Structure 1
Amino acid sequence: MGCAGSSQTKGDGTVKKIRKPKPWKHSSEITKSQLMKMREEFWDTAPHYGGRKEIWDALHAAVDADLTLAQAIVDSAGIIVQSADLTVCYDERGAKYEIPKYVLSEPTNLIQDS
């Protein structure tokens, strides 16, 4: 049984429901393996952009999860979502976390690996 404070309503405006990112196009055609390499490089270097490693880890887990689980991860980690697609978030201390669209979804011009 939950308490009134555990609902995901926007009562105070700080909780934003996560949604899938809008379709986007990469600057040039890109293969799945190239995209995966870019994503790996981002997550390997993300903690060096600032913020706390545990928040980056939670964001990584949320990005890889379905929307319901992603919402639960973000809420439990105390992440403040500015952009519902997770491109811009903050932690409780005010540190900013920016995630590029290529990490969140596939581009419309994704091509097969040859």
Structure 2
Amino acid sequence: MGCIGSSQTKGDGPANAKKLQKPKCWKHTQPITRQQLQQMREEFWDTAPHYGGQKEIWDALQAAAEAELTLAQVIVESAGVIVTSSDMTTCYDERGAKYELPKYVLSEPSNLIENS
């Protein structure tokens, strides 16, 4: 049981869960192609576990980053990820390990060049 105004009674999920939002528009230092963006993403996810934290959390974050917002919300909540920025750029696991995600794995830049 909670207070009438508690987040649990409103059905918003855990008190430390933040509702995910799309990242704000951003611009890469120079125009890049979709293929270059995909390569940057693959390199990040291949090396992410070496930054520390648990591989399972990195896998959950990757799945969330590649999913629609509602599914991403379910993924991070199920994995016990604590999202401190609604765009998922900064997250923590239940043990306090920090996970930082670059915007390029979360959304596309405004200066993306379509492959020809």
Q: Same fold (TM over 0.5)?
A: yes
Alignment of 1:43-82 (within 5 A): 43-82=45-84
How many residue pairs get aligned? The number is 108
TM-score, normalised relative to structure 2: 0.88
Alignment of 1:87-98 (within 5 A): 87-98=89-100
TM-score, normalised relative to structure 1: 0.89
Q: Which runs of 5+ in 1 are unaligned?
A: none
Compute the displacement of 1:113 (Å): 2.3
Alignment of 1:19-58 (within 5 A): 19-58=21-60
**Partner Cα distance (2:12, 2:76) in 1:** 11
Per-residue deviation, residues 66-92 of structure 1 (Å, max 9, x unmatched): 111100000011000011000000000
Q: Which runs of 5+ in 2 are unaligned?
A: 1-7
**Partner Cα distance (2:92, 2:114) in 1:** 35
**Partner Cα distance (2:45, 2:85) in 1:** 19
Residue 85 of structure 1 aligns with which residue? 87
Question: Secondary structure of the equivalent of 2:99?
Answer: strand
Residue 105 of structure 1 aligns with which residue? 107
Question: Secondary structure of the equivalent of 2:94?
Answer: coil
**Partner Cα distance (1:70, 1:8) in 2:** 15
Compute the displacement of 1:15 (Å): 1.1
Runs of 4+ in 1 over 6 A off after TM superposition: none
**Partner Cα distance (2:44, 2:52) in 1:** 13
Q: CA RMSD in A?
A: 1.4
Identity of aligned residues (%): 68
